[in-house]
Every structure is written in structure tokens, then in C-alpha cells.
Amino acid sequence: MSLKNKVALITGGSTGIGKAIATKLASMGVDIVINYFVGPEEANQVALELAQKYNVKTKALHADVSNFESSSNLIDEVLKEFGTLNIVVNNAGITDDALILRMNENQFDRVINTNLKGVFNISKHSARPLLKSGYGRIINIASVIGEYGNVGQVNYAAAKAGVIGITKTLAKELASRKVTVNAIAPGFIETQMTKNLPEQVRAEMLKYIALGSYGQPEDIANVVAFLASEEASYITGVVIDVDGGLTI
């Protein structure tokens, strides 16, 4: 699969799943925009490494996806720098867990604003350029928790369920111009976020994964690559669980 000369924006693209996605798409010839909110040195280093290794154009751009104006400015910068936009991967996300009896309003709002409103903001401002590009893909990183819920994550579950709703709605709205919109729902993926969980929690989770191992960021990146490709041109509005059989 080659996507040479296409331009992709990956939000939260400098670490974990986002970095794996950026790396995979760059290996397919895609010019890469890495959006970051914190860690400019890391984001710029990833951009430099991808440009050197895969001979693609890259750029690290700061933006707060939870902010409507900041998101608009990000898309403007992408268009100014690259001239077009073909692939948007809404990956940026945070957690702030607590049981509902203990969760405060700020915890709920922070997660909703980044994980859900952020997807709206970026999709809203990129929709017109994608429709004009002649080749448009939106790929949203949801979560199996958005489908099945999880104790202590009412904010995260609500946000990711909302992402699935956005995905299905935009798939219908943008289909007439052949822009596809799909979601990937990761299960337990080895990232810095999950590595910080207590070992007891990690061991308990492993019992429910049919394949008997945690997923890797590259497992998500490979599905993103497929959904971004020509081979997936007749797929839209779907949610693909990548969870090793966690939810069967």
C-alpha cells in the first residue's frame, strides 16, 4: 500500500499510538504533520527522524485540540505549509479516572473537552479541506471502553462513545464526496499510560484477553494504514475493535 504525496495530520502524534501511526504512514510515503500539546522537543525530534528515514516532508505543530480557535489555526497552518490535507487521525486523548462518587466536574470536563470536543474541533475545521482534496480520510481513535464502559472511567467512556457517534454521523455527511470516516477501538495497548497501571490491574486485565497478550501501538497503526489506503475506499462509518479478543 502506498500513499505517496498524501498529507496526514495526527493529533497527539509524538508519543505512543500517535507516534506509531505517524511512523507507519510515513513509511508509506505520506507527508506527516505531528500535532502536540506538550513536549515540543519530542515532537520535533520525531518529525526530524521520520523525514530523514522515509524522505517525506514533516512538521510538528503545537495546538490545543480542545480549543476551537486553536484547532482552526492548526488546520490553517497545515494548509499553508503543505497546500492540502488528505488524512486526519484524531488520536489525542487523556484520562483522569475516578468513581463517579469521587469524580469532580473538572475531571469530567477535561476529558470530555480533549477526547470528544477535540475530535469535533479538528473534524469541523478539516472537513472542507478534505472534501476539496479529492482524497479524504478521517480516522478516529475511540476505545472499547466507549462501547462497553469501565468502572472509574465515566468521563472517558462517555467521550469515546461520543467519538463513535461523531464517526457514524460524519460518515453519512461526507460520503457524497467520497470522504470516509471510520473509528478504531483499541483494547489494552502497551503505552506509557498503561505501563503506569499497578501490576495487579495489568495482570487481571490479561486474564480477559483471548490472545493472551497486550496490544502494541503498531497494531493500531497497521489498521490506520489500511483505513487510510485505497483498499478501504468502500468502508465508512465502522468501528474496528483491535483488542486481542478482550470483548468477545
Q: How far is CA 10 from the centre of its chain?
A: 7
**Euclidean distance between CA atoms 97 and 152, whole angstroms:** 6
* Beta bridge partners of residue 88, listed in sequence order: 9, 138
Active site (annotated) includes residue 208: no
**Euclidean distance between CA atoms 161 and 56, whole angstroms:** 34
Catalytic residue among 54, 156, 214, 234: 156
Nearest to 185 by CA among 144, 244, 154, 246: 144
User: Which grid cell sits at 56?
Assistant: 517525506
Note whether 163 and 115 are within 8 A (CB).
yes
Note whether 72 and 125 are within 8 A (CB).
yes
* Beta bridge partners of residue 87, listed in sequence order: 8, 137
3-class SS letters over 109-156: HHHHHHHHHHHHHHHHHHHHHHHHHCCCEEEEECCCHHHHCCCCEHHH
- Return the residue matching grid coordinates 503543505: 82
What are the catalytic residues?
A: 156
